[in-house]
């Protein structure tokens, strides 16, 4: 398929939604151009609105057959990439595991508002654990329980939530980062999962770029 991709993202220390499809593109191994917008800056709203129909990042611009169109929203982008690159097997092969991985991805995409609000992504920093609200504690417990169940059933087949790396892992990558940043206590199998996620070369690349933003004082 002769298409070219540009992924519009927010800056890497903060933009949790951007990390998800960025990781999917890296795992596919297809070339793409990054168009990075600095968040929480005077020009952010104008820059994002110029590129994104929803006024949010990420947005994937697909150019093919002489036209360019946009796909916005992290999960829609991941689904589109899975359809366009079946060889990358971004969902598990078995219908049962594929359905479950979709449920994991969707639960993350639509939920855990307190975790997202209290443990904002700050990818390259280590910060003290804030005083967690009951709702945040309950959401953390739910995440760790669901990770534990998926890992005990599937991790033997590749180390990730559904064995081989999948979109469920893309969706939870920023949560791995949040738990690491704020020192959230986890059972051993979840800690090992977070370490495996951070051992991915793509995560190392994102981490180096996030650290560079901090060094350059833009995050």
Positions touching ligand GSH (CB under 6 A) are 10, 15-18, 39, 44-45, 48, 56-58, 73-75, 109
- Nearest approach in angstroms of CB 174 to ligand GSH is 9
Give the nearer residue to ligand GSH in terms of CB position, either 4 or 43.
43
- Taking the complex as a whole, how short is the minimal distance between the CB of residue 153 and ligand GSH, in angstroms? 27
Tokens describing residue 74: 């992290």
Least distance between ligand GSH and beta carbon 136 (Å): 19
Nearer to ligand GSH, 15 or 61 (CB): 15
Q: Are 11 and 38 in contact (CB under 8 A)?
A: yes
Closest CA to 140 of 203, 188, 187: 187
Cα separation, 153 vs 107, in Å, equals 19
Tell me how far, at minimum, the Cβ of 13 lies from ligand GSH, in Å: 11
- Which of residues 159 and 174 has its CB atom nearest to ligand GSH in the complex? 174
Strand order in the sheet with 4-10: 33-37, 4-10, 59-64, 67-72
Chain centroid, CA 132 distance in Å: 23
Report, in Å, the least distance between residue 35 CB and ligand GSH: 13
Exposed / middle / buried, residue 93 (Cβ in 10 Å: 0-12, 13-18, 19+) = exposed
Would you say 121 or 155 has its CB closer to ligand GSH?
Answer: 121
Give 122 or 186: the residue with its C-beta nearer to ligand GSH.
122
């Amino acid at each position: 398929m002769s298409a070219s991709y540009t992924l519009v993202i927010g800056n890497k220390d903060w933009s949790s939604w951007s990390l998800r499809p960025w990781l999917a593109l890296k795992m596919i191994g297809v070339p793409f151009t990054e168009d990075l917008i600095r968040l929480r800056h005077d020009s952010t709203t104008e820059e994002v609105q110029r590129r994104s129909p929803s006024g949010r990042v990420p947005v994937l611009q697909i150019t093919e057959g002489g036209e360019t169109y946009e796909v916005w929203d992290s999960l829609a982008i991941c689904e589109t990439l899975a359809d366009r690159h079946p060889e990358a097997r971004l969902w598990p092969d078995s219908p049962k595991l594929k359905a479950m991985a979709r449920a994991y991805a969707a639960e993350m995409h639509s939920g855990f508002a307190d975790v997202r609000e209290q443990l904002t992504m700050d990818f390259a920093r280590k910060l003290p654990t804030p005083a967690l609200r009951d709702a945040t504690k309950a959401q953390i417990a739910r995440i760790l329980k669901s990770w534990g169940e998926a890992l005990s059933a599937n991790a033997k087949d590749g180390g990730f939530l559904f064995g081989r790396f999948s979109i469920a892992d893309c969706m939870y990558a920023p949560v791995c980062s949040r738990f690491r940043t704020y020192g959230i206590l986890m059972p051993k199998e979840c800690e090992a999962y977070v370490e495996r996620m951070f051992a991915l070369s793509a995560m190392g690349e994102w981490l180096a770029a996030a650290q560079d933003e901090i060094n350059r004082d833009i995050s």
